[in-house]
């Protein structure tokens, strides 16, 4: 589906549902990139947020949880598409004390928001609110990542204060919230933590009466204790350093073997396959260079056979 601003597609999720992705036009991308600079200049991002920021990411966040005896992983449901036009107007009004030109605000909303679509009964369906389209920050828009960090700023800081008060560590990467403790937490304490986080994420702000719109995906909540393999956004944090799960490394090793054998026998390998494999190898090496050494060597062998 193409409406001039976006090509809207769906891709399969692991659970069998389909995720709606918005691919902006080149003209819209240019406008969004300019607004990214505007948002970065005028708004703060919490220190406990590790997503969509230069120089830090999942690896740096995972290190915050090294040595934990309990790790709690919480997923925020439909993250980007829970951020609405009301959120955008709210952060702009508060930052600029309602002095920003109303026409400029309307322009910003028109560039960063789009009617929400869901995939239902085999087709895309537009969602309405009070007979008007529900405007959200689309997954795929250039501006959505930085806006999500800004909208979540106060929630991040509140949960950071909560964690500090109870000697916990709190971090967030996009829709993944991680809380860990240096001691093994009882089920009772874990329940209280989960309830507090859920209340904070789903609360209504008294100052503006803006409903956050966020929901915890309780089905994806995971609790790890010392003695188990503890994962933070797919990274193992059991040891003194972060590492890549053995299962993932075995999968990539098998892919490398398949590609190498094919190339040695003169078979053609699609460039997209090579690019995806290169990305996986680089990720392993980024997370743990000792684990990545073998993969980099094998990737170099593949590159030599290609040219």
pLDDT tens figures, 74-95 = 999 999 999 999 999 999 988 8
Is residue 32 within 8 A of residue 141, CB to CB? The reply is: yes
Is residue 100 within 8 A of residue 251, CB to CB? The reply is: no
SS3 240: coil
What's the per-residue H, E or C state across 48-72?
CECCCECCECHHHHHHCCCCCCEEE
Q: What is the pLDDT of residues 120-131, one digit of tens each?
A: 878 888 888 777
Q: What is the pLDDT of residues 7-34, one digit of tens each?
A: 999 988 877 788 899 999 999 999 999 9
Q: In angstroms, rounded to a whole number, what is the distance separating the alpha carbons of residues 46 and 159?
A: 11
Q: In angstroms, rounded to a whole number, what is the distance separating the alpha carbons of residues 164 and 281?
A: 36
pLDDT for residue 44 is more than 90? yes
List C-alpha distances in Å: 140 to 18, 22, 122, 186: 15, 5, 21, 40
Residues 157-170, mean pLDDT to the nearest whole number? 96
Give the DSSP H/E element, type plus range, for residue 219.
none
Q: In angstroms, rounded to a whole number, what is the distance separating the alpha carbons of residues 190 and 202?
A: 18
pLDDT at position 212 is 64
Give me the chain's average pLDDT, please.
Answer: 91
pLDDT for residue 202 is more than 90? no
In a 13 Å sphere around the CA of 224, the CA atoms on its Cβ side amount to 26
pLDDT at position 118 is 87
pTM of the entire structure? 0.89
Is residue 74 within 8 A of residue 194, CB to CB? The reply is: yes
């Amino acid at each position: 589906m193409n409406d001039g601003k976006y090509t809207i597609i769906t891709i399969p999720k692991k659970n069998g549902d389909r995720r709606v992705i918005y691919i902006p036009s080149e003209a819209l991308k240019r406008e969004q990139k300019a607004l990214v600079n505007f948002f970065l200049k005028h708004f703060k991002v919490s220190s406990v947020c590790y997503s969509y920021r230069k120089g830090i990411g999942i690896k740096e966040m995972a290190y915050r949880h090294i040595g934990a005896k309990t790790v709690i992983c919480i997923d925020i449901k439909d993250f980007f598409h829970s951020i609405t036009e009301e959120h955008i107007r709210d952060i702009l009004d508060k930052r600029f004390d309602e002095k920003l030109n109303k026409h400029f605000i309307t322009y910003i909303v028109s560039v960063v928001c789009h009617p929400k679509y869901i995939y239902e009964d085999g087709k895309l369906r537009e969602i309405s609110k009070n007979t008007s389209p529900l405007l959200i920050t689309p997954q795929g828009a250039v501006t959505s990542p930085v806006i999500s960090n800004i909208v979540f700023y106060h929630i991040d800081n509140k949960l950071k204060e909560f964690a500090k008060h109870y000697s916990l560590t709190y971090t967030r990467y996009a829709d993944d919230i991680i809380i860990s403790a240096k001691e093994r937490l009882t089920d009772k304490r874990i329940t209280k933590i989960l309830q507090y986080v859920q209340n904070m994420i789903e609360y209504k702000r008294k100052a503006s009466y803006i409903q956050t719109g966020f929901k915890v995906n309780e089905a994806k909540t995971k609790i790890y204790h010392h003695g188990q393999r503890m994962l933070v956004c797919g990274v193992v944090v059991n040891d003194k350093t972060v590492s890549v799960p053995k299962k993932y490394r075995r999968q990539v090793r098998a892919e490398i073997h398949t590609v190498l054998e094919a190339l040695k026998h003169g078979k053609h390998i699609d460039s997209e396959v090579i690019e995806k494999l290169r990305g996986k190898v680089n990720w392993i090496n980024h997370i743990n260079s000792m684990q990545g050494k073998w993969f980099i060597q094998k990737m170099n062998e593949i590159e030599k056979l290609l040219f």
